[in-house]
Structure 1
Amino acid sequence: MRDDTRGRVPFSLLGVLLLVSSLTLAPTFVTEPAPSETAVERALNQATAETQVAVRDGVSAAGRRAAANPVVTPADTPIGRVLNDSTAFRDSLRIRAYLQVADRLAEVNGRSGDVTVTASLPEVANASDLRAAKHRVSVERAGPNGTAMRAMVENIVLTVRRNGEVVSTRHVSPTVVVPTQALMLHDQVSTYQTRLNNGLDKPGLSQRMTARLYPIAWARGYAQYGGAGIENVVANRHVSLAANGALLGVQRATFGRSDPAGRRALKEATAVTGIEDIVRGSRGTAASSTVLDEAEYKPMSETPPRPRTTNRPGPGPEDSMTVGINGTAESVFRTVTVPSTLNETLEDAYTVEVALEVHKSKRDGGPPGKPPSPGSNWTLVGDRTTASVVAVGNASDRVGTPDGWHTVETFSRTVERRYTRTGVWQSGPDRTYTTASSTARYRVSVAVVGRHHGRSPAPNRSIRTAHDARASPLNGSNLADVEPKAMDTLVSDAGGRDRVAERVVADSLGRTEATVTADRPPELDDWVYRDLMGLRASVRNTTVSVERGSVGTFETNPPQELRERLMQRRANLSDVPDTYDSTAQKARIAARLTYLDAVLTELDAQATARDGNRKRVDTQLTERTDGSLRALRKGLTARETRAARSRPVPVGPAGPVRTRVDTQTPYLTLAELDERRYRALEGSEHPLVARNANVFTVPYGDAADAVVGGAFESVDRVRLATAANTLAAANETLENESTTTLAAKRDDLRGEVRVANGEMTTQLWLAVSQHTDAGKGESRAIVGEAMSAWETPEARALALTNGSAQERVVRVAGGRLHLTRVERDRLRLTLLAVDTPATKPTLGSTNGTASAVRTVAKDELSKALADAGKQRAQRIAKKRLGTDRLPAGLPLAPPVTPWYATANIWWVTVEGEYARFAVSANHGSPGDPGARTTYARDGHNVTLDVDDDGAAERLGTADRVSFRADTGVVVVVPPKPRGVGDKDGNAVEESSGWPDAGN
């Protein structure tokens, strides 16, 4: 027998059914007497009605049973291969409908007198018959909102017999509409699974999980940045909460409601995780508790939390942050105000182009004629003309001045050119010479002209008082000494005025262009330097506003935006006048433009470095996770994507069709479960597994070092500030819990920090000695007095790296040496630039100490939890065990300074599987309108006795509902050494059972 039960409908219902679902037949019969025709007609009508009932009843039963045991993947058996892979469920439903209808047709028996009518379908004996049977049945969703099912069974054979003899046959293809939601439920569950596996750019689990993780990560990240003892910003317990909340949200959007047991379990899990997080990280402080409570631990709804703009404990990824030029203004200032560089800039402003403009005109005379012959027998065999030039007096002519130039000095001369022509005469063997002489007179005019273009970056403008020494604001010569210098260069060096005029006539004047530099006032350098200090402050305060999330995903390039902003301000900042009041003003403008252009060049280099860092971050993300920056940006967009509203309740023929979701397990936990908890489980299973990779868990030497690589002289060293913070964390931990291992590592690191401090202070006093009048002894004393404010090695190291020590050295030196404002500023910038490889401790010592700190903190907390429970654990958590001081994250700097933010990335992957996923609808068969149709997938094999031999054949598998979802979260905090990131030393947190969820 097949696994289907058979059902009958009383014939008393036939009249009603004939009214609502009639089939008109017009058969042609062999001619018989009228009474026989009437009997056949009556029998056919009765059989037709019963056939319609049988089809309806069979299709309804097939729908219920196909839903209860849905075939998702066909079996690799002769019977299973009848199903198409892409339509396995519908094909199995068609097969079930055929077999159910075939069974019920056996009960059809129309009778009138000696005439009987039976109905039948071909029997199924093998796979070929089954394939033909499948093609006889079609099914589709029908009715309002597709809540019912329309089915047609083709070529049912009605056989008419009279007294047992076949009179005639007729083929009919009834179509019925039954209120069975099998197809609707299958489509909904298929949609649900599709949404669970959709990527970040489509609605589904990944988008909703992202929307939940972002507020958790940002709230906890900023709490950690603010000092809360949070070791793991994003832990797998948060991933589990976010994933389950997202699963319920997708359920509601797909089915109209979610599993009520799942909602209860999510609320309980949220509360448990909240307590656990307070114990493990918040230290019970009011601020951190508030942050954690507001950010995460209020009961989570199925709707993803929307970004909030008020009453939020910290900023979110959509909030803007201000990035300024900041330290770049000073680092560039230092390069352009180096005495040799600034001197060149100012010299160019005082440099003038000068040239000679000459004009000659012939007044009279010219070359001599043929020399006279010595006699009649002489023949001229050759001649040679020589000439000499000599200035014979002044003249009154003038020469014009070219456009853009002005006259510095003019003079005119009368110049004679005296010719002598000598002829060579020959007569026989004899040779003699005769001469002829003449004079040509010229008027020569010479002008020394100049223009202020030179090599200066300052725009070409006229200087109204260029050659007036009294007009300089610094009591200098202005350009008044350009005239004598130009005359010396172009005239005196050429032999003087007469000689220049003579050489003009002789066409032997060589150099006619030159540059000359006027003397600069002694006060000019400091005057310009002070002006640049004001400009530096304005440039430093140039800022742009960028979204924090876009900065972390490298979607925006802050240095490039700063460059564009500074370009917009360049004209105002340069302060170029229409005309210069003095040469000193031109020099000032030249220095301002030189500085601004240098800052623009540096910002351009930083923008290029930012692009290089973007590529390296993408490489690290790809190598360490399954993510990429492109996917990370999708996640950033996904968190802002408003989830689809819940599906409205569909209305069927009998009213609203409500669905109910029933899952096992209702909360997909990361823990291992077995059948003792849920019967649907098979042995021990992990309903949910997760992998949570924090890309930048340590400051350098890991992923971050691969990004900022070239910023350091050696990849085996770290910044002194990093080592100092690690040392401070070790000291803080040892104050509460003393361990030999940590103490030994602390001592090693302290020794390296002391050595680095010593090298740094040596470089400082050498700089003081080189850039002031102080001798080496006094320079040591100045630095020693300044450094006395910090006693411990870590405090000194932090002061040396954050600039506090350099500022104090300048104050002490300024007081002792009576330094001017400019001298103090020069010294400060010089001291801030001090940096050598010897001032960087080793990576091994730093990371070894950090690892020991994490181990001690973790061991102490675990011990407290085991020995004394929550209260003792809270007291331990309140202690400053030092882990919060450990730096983490990627400094967003081009490549190191200015450090404008710290970012970190978490890439999360979850895989899950429901042991049983069931959805039911509140309409059943026509005979039982209050019943429910249930669609359930549990991973079991689906069998069916297709040939009625008592042995069930395997059709396929009711695959479990499973999924994989990925997302990335980026958190960006301001630039402080603490940074943001997981500080427990585990870059990758994998749950038990990863990567195999379910069986």
Structure 2
Amino acid sequence: MDDRGRIPFALLGVLLLVSSLTLAPSLTTRPPVSETTIERAVDRTTAETQTAVRDGVSTAGQRAAANPVVTPANTTAGRALNRSTPFRDALRIRVYLQVRDRLERVGYERERVTATASLPPVTNTSSLRAAKRRVEIRPAGPNGTALRATVENVTLRVRRGDNVVERRQVSPTVVVATPVLSLHEQVSTYQARLNNGLDKPGFNRRLTARLYPMAWVRGYAQYGGVPISNVVGNRHVSLAANGALLGVQRSTFGRSDPAGRRALTEATAVTGIEDVIGGSNPSVITKKVLDQASYRPPASDIGRGNANWKSPQPTESMRTGINQTADRAFRDVAGPSKLRATTAAAYRVEARLVTDTRRLRGGKPSMPASPGANWTLVDDRTTDTTTVRNASGAVSVPQGWHRLDGVARTVQVQYRRTAEWTNGSATRTTVTDRTASYRVGVALVGRHDSQSVAPANGISTAHDPSGSPLNGSNLADVESKAKQRLVTDAGGYSTIVASAATGRVSTAPVEIRADRPPGLRSWVYRDLMGLRERVRNISVTVERGKIGTFETNPPGRLLERLEARRSALENVPRTYNSTAQRARVAARIAYLDAVEKRLADQYRKRMSRRDLFDSQLQQRTGGSIRDLRRGLTARRTKVPRARPVPEGIAGPVRTRVDARPPYLTRAKLNEKQYPALNGTEHPLVTENINVFTLPYGNAASELTSMILATNDRTRLSTAATALRAANATIDNGRTTTVSGNATNGTSRNTTTVTFQPVNATVVSRRDRLQNNVRLINGYLADQMVDVVATETTASEQESRTIVADGLDRWNTTHERAAALTDGRAARHVGTVAARRQNLSRSERDWLRLRLSARLHEERNEPRIGPQSKLVNESASATRSVAETAITTAITETTKLQAEQLAKKRLGTDMLPAGLPVAPPVMPWYATTNVWWVSVRGEYGRFAVTANQGPPSAPAGMTTYARDGDAVAIDVDDDGRDERLGTADRISFAAETGVVVVVPPKPRGVGDKDGNTVERSPGWPDAGD
């Protein structure tokens, strides 16, 4: 018998021959089984097996999609799944079990022949792994939208009676129109994109891209005076997050959840209503206001009625110039003593004597002879007598020097050399005489290129007494002064020549100071004033966003621009036309050096400030400047377009997203609202940290520690702005009248809203701050008195009157404090002093600079700054009063009146916020603020349905759903389900930073509602 259960043909022939007589009757009535019957049984069973496999794969695909295993369970069945591919492994197991179940119904029976197909049962983990390995799956068809599955080693058996006459193993492969693998990959891609960082496409990038325009529009609106107390609130974060989620859905699946789109539209309208009333708590939005809502985010309010208004973009350029740095550098070099020293250097000349001695004949005598043996020399001296006669010739002048005067002489020198000897008991002297003749030249030379910072380009009228534009003598008096000092005072040329012949003349240079014209300093000062204005106007363009992320360093850029223009600003001629011109160039160079030094210092300090900024950001948010820069770049990254509809084996494969809830809200939801939820959940939770809150907060205090030695003081401008807000709230916060059109639009109605009386505590805190600021104002006024008295001829009493009259126009404490900080007080007091003291233009200019400098120096003294505690207390009280007033009035007004009322936001819109980018190391050219946003979310159920599937599926569709439920199936036919794993919910977490930069202005930009950290209910746990 062979391995197929068949008897060899030869043996069968012998048996038939031997038993032919006895078996003949039976053989004629029961014919033998033919080969055709067996093969037909095998073929039929193989075909049914193929069908069973197809049906099993289709069913398994549908069920695996409906309950996908994302995380394997720590169970006997779950451990059979590879942790890197749990979904595919679970699908392979499902295919095996479904096919095995269907094979039990596969069979063929005819002519006493039966055929069956089977797979081994699953009894333990080992056999489950073996079953999984029998199934191979992979995408098939166009774009991988179908499923190709192979089930290996299905056993086919053909029996006749109890005997197996045929056994075969087949491995059927089928392609099923179920996009289960494609849907799994798409949903996995969606999950990955939701959790991608800013360096990859996904939710975080889209969230950042949506938050930036919101923050900049609202930030610039607040800067422009619109009463926005909360620039970036959690309601904006929620709106941006859901818009980003829908965008990622479009790019991943080709379309987004339609219910989510509708909910986003509704949420946008509600957020607009919240913005109308200044960001109050949603609980105060009455149904009456909501019912009338047609309001969109407040673009029209921002523009103050200008339909063409739009806020700048982070990539737009802003100009920043040298500005006040030009004034401060000017004070470094243009003071009376410093400018006098700089101009005097141009009038200093070095002078010296140059000699040329040549021996004509003779020379010095030799050593006198010794008196004899045993005599020892004890002294040797030479004396000379000179005779000077006139001669001709000139001395060559060293390079870099020029001749002022000189002579040539012949000098005869009579030498006598005397030696003194001793032998111990006696002394004897011997003498040698000799005469020498010398030709000696002496020149008086000078140079005027070593004492000044101006290049030594020569002065065409150096010694021309009529060549100066100031009626000065240039250097014409240098020769006489040099001759007097080096020649006359030395005894005249004869004495110098005689000394030169014997090597005893000094040729060391001396400094000669030429006479300067009396108007030189004023002339040069006025020239520097013009140069200062040119330097002040030097500017560069920088991206607004990059200023806030410290990606650009404006002082460094300005330094480069100044260096590029320096040659033209110095305006050094090839040859000076006068000494005064050289003095002017020297002053210009000294001034430009001072500007460059200050810009370089500002550059270094901004780099240091960047590090401190980064440290504060990390401490308060966990983020960094690098993350901010990534966000700024990511918002400009082109986001992927909607995924095109792929073509499948049965046509286009379109998908539909069904999320529960479709809009992830910060509100508390329960399973009655959405059955997919598990009890009570918060689908979305957010944390929103405004880093530099009013009035600059703790983080800004750290950053301004370079301004003040301690953190218990703040800037006077901050205190002035806070005081102004408090005054406005107290003065105007009792009764407000608003009006609006009636419903039919034909008439107007007016509503007078009466607020509660301002709390005495609010007034008390305002008064304490006001007294503090008033004292500082008085101290700074005294400093101005001292400057006026020092820089002018006014007496102390006259100076006090000048300052009092100059400050008289600012009659409130906060107005005067603001004027003392922004330069207006210095300018006006300077104008009054100039008029009463009849000051020249340069004197008036210098007085203004000195007044500004003294105010700047004193304001930055730690002991002078207003107390931070008083500023914070008053600002907090102001905010509290305004919030209470607005909330009280909302329910009494129509929607239009609510908008008007919001614009009468009392004093809160005046409160300062944000971080001044520059002071004190450079001019204030911008204010920045940072919002660090963290978002976590989870869908109760997230399903994606494709329009293709097996015929057995409803309408031929395939639905892939993730709901967090456990996935369990009966793998061993014991009637109990074994847990494979869980269909994890779609969840995500993201964080990003948004930086807003506005021009310098006291109110700045930032949240002014007192909530430094805004956390939604349920934070930090989203979902189940």
- Give yes or no for TM over 0.5: yes
Q: How does 1:83-122 map to 2 (within 5 A)?
A: 83-122=81-120
Distance 2:1006 2:595 in 1: 33
Q: How does 1:217-256 map to 2 (within 5 A)?
A: 217-256=215-254
Match of residue 712, structure 2, among 711, 716, 719? 716
Identical counterparts, % of pairs: 57
Deviation at 1:429, TM superposition (A): 6.5
Query: Does the residue aligned with 2:85 lie in a helix, a strand or coil?
Result: helix
Distance 1:44 1:842 in 2: 98
Query: Does the residue aligned with 1:47 lie in a helix, a strand or coil?
Result: helix
Paired position in structure 1 for 2:739: none
* Alignment of 1:936 onto 2:961: yes
Distance change >3 Å, CA 950–CA 468, structure 1 → 2: same
* Alignment of 1:881 onto 2:906: yes
Paired position in structure 2 for 1:303: none
* Alignment of 1:331 onto 2:328: yes
Deviation at 1:276, TM superposition (A): 1.4
* Alignment of 1:396 onto 2:416: no
Deviation at 1:162, TM superposition (A): 1.2
* Alignment of 1:414 onto 2:410: yes
Distance 2:176 2:369 in 1: 142
* Alignment of 1:524 onto 2:520: yes
Distance 1:560 1:890 in 2: 20
* Alignment of 1:771 onto 2:768: no
Tell me if the contact between 2:114 and 2:158 (Cα under 8 Å) persists in the aligned partners: yes
Deviation at 1:714, TM superposition (A): 3.3
Paired position in structure 2 for 1:748: 768
Paired position in structure 2 for 1:126: 124
What are the superposed Cα offsets for residues 442-475 of structure 1, whole Å, 9 maximum, x if unpaired? 2211112122212311111010110111111111
Q: How does 1:789-938 map to 2 (within 5 A)?
A: 789-835=809-855, 836=858, 837=861, 839-865=864-890, 873-874=898-899, 876-893=901-918, 895-927=920-952, 930-938=955-963
Distance 1:425 1:261 in 2: 129
Tell me if the contact between 1:279 and 1:870 (Cα under 8 Å) persists in the aligned partners: no
Distance 1:378 1:135 in 2: 127
User: Which sits farther off after the overlay, 959-968 or 477-486?
Assistant: 477-486
Query: Does the residue aligned with 2:243 lie in a helix, a strand or coil?
Result: helix
Query: Does the residue aligned with 2:278 lie in a helix, a strand or coil?
Result: helix
Q: How does 1:164-203 map to 2 (within 5 A)?
A: 164-203=162-201
Distance 2:377 2:975 in 1: 143
Deviation at 1:63, TM superposition (A): 0.3
Q: How does 1:167-566 map to 2 (within 5 A)?
A: 167-280=165-278, 292-293=298-299, 311=308, 313-368=310-365, 384-422=380-418, 432-566=428-562
TM-score (normalised: structure 1): 0.92
Paired position in structure 2 for 1:589: 585
Tell me if the contact between 1:490 and 1:513 (Cα under 8 Å) persists in the aligned partners: no
Distance change >3 Å, CA 660–CA 928, structure 1 → 2: same
Tell me if the contact between 1:379 and 1:425 (Cα under 8 Å) persists in the aligned partners: yes
Query: Does the residue aligned with 1:507 lie in a helix, a strand or coil?
Result: coil
Deviation at 1:588, TM superposition (A): 0.2
Query: Does the residue aligned with 1:469 lie in a helix, a strand or coil?
Result: coil
What are the superposed Cα offsets for residues 256-304 of structure 1, whole Å, 9 maximum, x if unpaired? 11101000000000011111101226999xxxx998236999xxxxxxx
Query: Does the residue aligned with 1:956 lie in a helix, a strand or coil?
Result: strand
Query: Does the residue aligned with 2:227 lie in a helix, a strand or coil?
Result: coil
Paired position in structure 2 for 1:8: none
Aligned residue type for 2:813: P
Q: How does 1:586-625 map to 2 (within 5 A)?
A: 586-625=582-621
What are the superposed Cα offsets for residues 833-885 of structure 1, whole Å, 9 maximum, x if unpaired? 12323542111111111111111112222223466675665454232411111
User: Which sits farther off after the overlay, 216-225 or 705-714?
Assistant: 705-714
Distance change >3 Å, CA 806–CA 426, structure 1 → 2: closer
User: What is the RMSD computed on CA atoms of the aligned residues?
Assistant: 2.5
Distance 1:764 1:792 in 2: 19
User: Which sits farther off after the overlay, 529-538 or 943-952?
Assistant: 943-952
Tell me if the contact between 1:349 and 1:454 (Cα under 8 Å) persists in the aligned partners: no
Unaligned runs of 5+ in 2: 13-31, 290-294, 735-757
User: Which sits farther off after the overlay, 720-729 or 893-902?
Assistant: 893-902
Tell me if the contact between 2:139 and 2:182 (Cα under 8 Å) persists in the aligned partners: yes
Tell me if the contact between 1:196 and 1:964 (Cα under 8 Å) persists in the aligned partners: yes
Distance 1:74 1:415 in 2: 117
Tell me if the contact between 1:385 and 1:419 (Cα under 8 Å) persists in the aligned partners: no
Distance 2:412 2:770 in 1: 90
Distance 1:246 1:378 in 2: 118
Tell me if the contact between 2:273 and 2:296 (Cα under 8 Å) persists in the aligned partners: no
Paired position in structure 2 for 1:7: none
Query: Does the residue aligned with 1:280 lie in a helix, a strand or coil?
Result: coil
Q: How does 1:141-160 map to 2 (within 5 A)?
A: 141-160=139-158
Distance 1:389 1:584 in 2: 48
Distance 1:972 1:423 in 2: 93
Distance 1:489 1:45 in 2: 132
Tell me if the contact between 2:269 and 2:296 (Cα under 8 Å) persists in the aligned partners: no
Paired position in structure 1 for 2:653: 657
Deviation at 1:634, TM superposition (A): 1.1
Distance 2:677 2:478 in 1: 99
Distance change >3 Å, CA 928–CA 193, structure 1 → 2: closer
Deviation at 1:489, TM superposition (A): 3.9
Paired position in structure 2 for 1:979: 1004
Deviation at 1:420, TM superposition (A): 1.6
Tell me if the contact between 2:695 and 2:872 (Cα under 8 Å) persists in the aligned partners: no
Distance 2:707 2:368 in 1: 86
Tell me if the contact between 1:294 and 1:313 (Cα under 8 Å) persists in the aligned partners: no
Aligned residue type for 1:931: G
What are the superposed Cα offsets for residues 208-266 of structure 1, whole Å, 9 maximum, x if unpaired? 11111111111000000000000111111000010000100100110111101000000
Deviation at 1:124, TM superposition (A): 0.5
Tell me if the contact between 1:215 and 1:296 (Cα under 8 Å) persists in the aligned partners: no
Distance change >3 Å, CA 701–CA 938, structure 1 → 2: closer
Paired position in structure 1 for 2:780: 760
Distance 1:86 1:377 in 2: 118
Distance 1:295 1:186 in 2: 47
* Alignment of 1:784 onto 2:804: yes
Tell me if the contact between 1:699 and 1:705 (Cα under 8 Å) persists in the aligned partners: no
What are the superposed Cα offsets for residues 465-507 of structure 1, whole Å, 9 maximum, x if unpaired? 1011111111112111211232244334544323322222222
Paired position in structure 2 for 1:20: none
What are the superposed Cα offsets for residues 517-573 of structure 1, whole Å, 9 maximum, x if unpaired? 212111000000000000000000001011111111111111100000011110001
Paired position in structure 1 for 2:972: 947
Tell me if the contact between 2:195 and 2:202 (Cα under 8 Å) persists in the aligned partners: yes
Distance change >3 Å, CA 522–CA 123, structure 1 → 2: same
Distance 1:565 1:390 in 2: 66
Distance 1:88 1:673 in 2: 31
Paired position in structure 1 for 2:34: 36
What are the superposed Cα offsets for residues 77-101 of structure 1, whole Å, 9 maximum, x if unpaired? 1111111111010010000000000
Distance 2:309 2:8 in 1: 91
Tell me if the contact between 1:110 and 1:117 (Cα under 8 Å) persists in the aligned partners: yes
Deviation at 1:110, TM superposition (A): 2.2
Distance 2:966 2:296 in 1: 51
User: Which sits farther off after the overlay, 886-895 or 65-74?
Assistant: 886-895
